[in-house]
A and B are shown apart, each in its own frame.
Chain A
């Protein structure tokens, strides 16, 4: 194909002698189109900062430097820093209303987001997959019960339940993780069930049953491995929603308690100062959430198209 095209180009443009090569910028664009480089870079940054947070934060995320640093703007506001000689350091992204370094809190918050969402997702994926498998494999009234339960569950506005739990139990790291796990499982059940339903009558499953394999073994060794793609795709598509949910909880004040920095409560910290044009307190953490969620959704779409196009309808 390529040679043919090269010939035509040479015959059309007589002076053309070089090989038909794509220019470098074009190559870069094509590479970027084929592979989700930017989302992966954002996520790598997230994981990296999350894991190494204590060594990366330029200042202590929870200790304010001095009172005069309240709402100190980002470093490029030179005029402000000249007018306030009391501040010894220039905050890269500014300081929050309590004079804490926003960049440090952002990095510290990445760690919390990562931790909470990872735990919630693992629990949710395990429970959801297990229920979906059982429901699809056994069918009958077990399936009916699980499906009905799913229907009811999907209808519950979870933020309300979160508020209630926060009033009743009080909000801790663990309740937030638990809450998010409660949200995350439901996405897995439907698709895993549908897949399990179609897999259970395959010949190889039948054969292993004839061979005397236990039900558990069939599910674990013969059905589950076929579902890995589906599970990974759903998980990736789901993470973004979980990060948003965690941030919403924190924003409403029922997430992980202060003074722990989370992106959600950082946005909320800046809310009251927006009127004074102090934009940096809310802006950065929100931008971080936005970029991370967008990258995850993007990556999820990409994975789905590559691994499991049948899931195209799931993405909501």
Chain B
């Protein structure tokens, strides 16, 4: 429910921002007019529905958006959906791989560094967490290009190749750039929750019963320790969206994130509003999925 509200809230915010600062028509027809007369302006205003109150405009836009019509781009008059459509695949490729990377690196490393506390693993995990949360991802990307593409010539520095589903050589660097901070986030949270669980009474009881160490960790501790990382999944996912803007810019990947950045330089407001909607819709879906996972993992919620 709150996810749907977020969707409405965010897009409405976009509308209010556009409305409150200046005449929204200026967004469509830039100052200087390009020789547009007053009558044409009025006509354009009417055509775009700008003569009505914001709430109505918003309702109309949202209604059309639900039917799959996001208006058309100012820049080249193509429908926004047509512009966004082909951009989805690259973003998805990078995003999903990065999420996989973050999960596969972050959670096991978090568990490992909690279980083998004060070992080399723990040390490595903590350094990784500090690094991942502090390194600016755009800088990491540029430095990786410098090292692996320019100096060593191992990896391609831009794009995703020619349309395969898993161009792993092209994906390595973007995935690391996008996934590192999320992996670090997962690691930190998993580690601290695992430490807490390992210290709890029921784990001590299990140990006292003579359950083997591996089984205690796998069966008793891990399941409980996974709840906090899951709850923050949604927040980390939001950082994925902002991350994709940066990653796709750095690596010239033709995805939605780069489209958003391009639409800014073209002053393309309807396109940007459409992209915002898509991003937030994705976020809502992810949020829902993480809620489902939550129920699967934590039986207390299912039962209550």
A residues whose Cβ falls under 8 Å from a Cβ of B: 148, 151-161, 163-169, 240, 244, 247-248, 251-254, 264, 267-268, 270-271, 274-275, 277, 279, 282-283, 285-287, 289-290, 293-294, 297-298, 312-313, 315-316
B145 on the interface (CB 8 Å rule)? yes
* CB–CB B143/A286 < 8 A: yes
What chain B residues lie within 8 Å of A298 (beta carbons)?
130
* CB–CB A312/B143 < 8 A: no
B40 on the interface (CB 8 Å rule)? no
* CB–CB B134/A252 < 8 A: no
What chain B residues lie within 8 Å of A267 (beta carbons)?
136, 138-139, 142
What chain A residues lie within 8 Å of B146 (beta carbons)?
274, 277, 279, 282
Chain B interface, DSSP helix/strand/loop, else mixed: helix
What chain B residues lie within 8 Å of A297 (beta carbons)?
130, 133-134
Question: Which chain B residue shows the least CB distance to A175?
Answer: B21
The contact size tier of chain B is 35 or more
Measured CB to CB, the closest approach of chain B to A42, in angstroms, equals: 11
Name, among A148, A285, A313, the residue most crowded by chain B CB atoms within 10 Å (CB to CB).
Answer: A313
Give the distance in Å from the alpha carbon of A274 to the alpha carbon of B141 in the complex.
Answer: 11
Measured CB to CB, the closest approach of chain B to A57, in angstroms, equals: 22
Measured CB to CB, the closest approach of chain A to B20, in angstroms, equals: 9
Question: Which chain B residue shows the least CB distance to A267?
Answer: B139
B residues whose Cβ falls under 8 Å from a Cβ of A: 2-3, 5-6, 9-10, 13-14, 17-18, 21-22, 27, 130-131, 133-140, 142-143, 145-146, 150-151, 157, 185, 188-189, 192-193, 228, 232, 234-236, 238, 241-242, 245-246, 249-250, 260-261, 263-265, 267-269, 272-273, 275-276, 279-280, 283-284, 287
Known A151-B5, A316-B188; contact A156-B280, beta-carbon cutoff 8 A: yes
What chain A residues lie within 8 Å of B265 (beta carbons)?
253
* CB–CB B232/A316 < 8 A: yes
What chain B residues lie within 8 Å of A240 (beta carbons)?
133-134
* CB–CB A164/B276 < 8 A: yes
What chain B residues lie within 8 Å of A247 (beta carbons)?
136, 138
**Pairs across A and B, CB under 8 Å, 20 listed:** A151-B5, A152-B2, A152-B6, A155-B283, A157-B279, A160-B260, A161-B10, A163-B261, A163-B264, A164-B18, A167-B272, A240-B134, A252-B246, A252-B264, A271-B142, A274-B145, A274-B150, A286-B139, A287-B139, A290-B135
